[in-house]
A and B are shown apart, each in its own frame.
Chain A
Amino acid sequence: GAVVSQHPSRVICKSGTSVKIECRSLDFQATTMFWYRQFPKQSLMLMATSNEGSKATYEQGVEKDKFLINHASLTLSTLTVTSAHPEDSSFYICSARDDPRGSPLHFGNGTRLTVT
């Protein structure tokens, strides 16, 4: 149980274009999902908390107009990187808890974004 699916696993786009990443909880409902970014040899950095039916909560230093988050249903959150630039190239990973009262995070398999 507690499977989180993320798509696509890899995307290459040109500078200035936008990219959408989907995160789905397959066997549970998630009122909250979390988006992380991971640089090589560095830890996971929380970007934002996605809340179903309301606005996402962004961590300090994360541009909300750059990284648009939509959590339209209890099983789907999307992250759109708008007007992508090479410095946005990174590994983006979503996660969710299957029990909001208390359970560990379950992660998707990540999306490798390369902006050329």
Chain B
Amino acid sequence: QKEVEQDPGPLSVPEGAIVSLNCTYSNSAFQYFMWYRQYSRKGPELLMYTYSSGNKEDGRFTAQVDKSSKYISLFIRDSQPSDSATYLCAMSYSGGYQKVTFGTGTKLQVIP
């Protein structure tokens, strides 16, 4: 079993839809959770960074962490064609030097 599981998709939605992206993990020691967006042939770009359980909102993006269920989500409201990319979840034991574990990424396509 992988430490982090993420549905690879692809996920296709119409423009304006609410998108829900999810990851599950097996290691309860993870404390820091991140979401990255990666366009084709580019490096990952940090979208959201959260610590422990709870919600965090930034514009059209909302990150949720449920440590009891070992489940994290990223919601994108009013999705735009420019949101079409691969979304990677990531997590680590601490915010410092500790190794970061990534999901395989979910490919999202927002259709105009």
- A: residues with CB less than 8 A from B are 4, 6, 32, 34, 41-44, 46, 49, 91, 93, 95, 97, 100-110, 112
Contact = CB atoms under 8 A, between A and B. Distances in A.
Contacts, number: 56
A103 B105 contact: no
19 contacts: A34-B100, A41-B104, A43-B104, A43-B105, A44-B44, A91-B41, A93-B43, A102-B32, A102-B94, A103-B49, A103-B95, A104-B46, A105-B34, A107-B44, A107-B45, A107-B46, A108-B43, A110-B42, A110-B43
B44 A42 contact: no
A107 B46 CA distance: 8
Nearest to B42: A109
A47 B103 CA distance: 16
A95 B41 CA distance: 16
Chain B binding surface, main DSSP class: loop
Contact of A104 (B8, B34, B41): B34
A105 B100 contact: yes
Interface in B73-111: 88, 90, 94-97, 99-100, 102-105
Nearest to B48: A104
The 8 nearest A-B residue pairs measured at CB: A102-B95, A107-B43, A43-B104, A104-B49, A109-B43, A110-B43, A43-B102, A44-B102
Given A4-B43, A44-B88, A104-B49, 19 more contacts: A32-B97, A34-B100, A42-B104, A43-B88, A43-B105, A49-B97, A97-B96, A100-B96, A100-B97, A102-B94, A102-B95, A103-B49, A104-B90, A105-B34, A105-B46, A105-B100, A107-B43, A107-B44, A107-B45
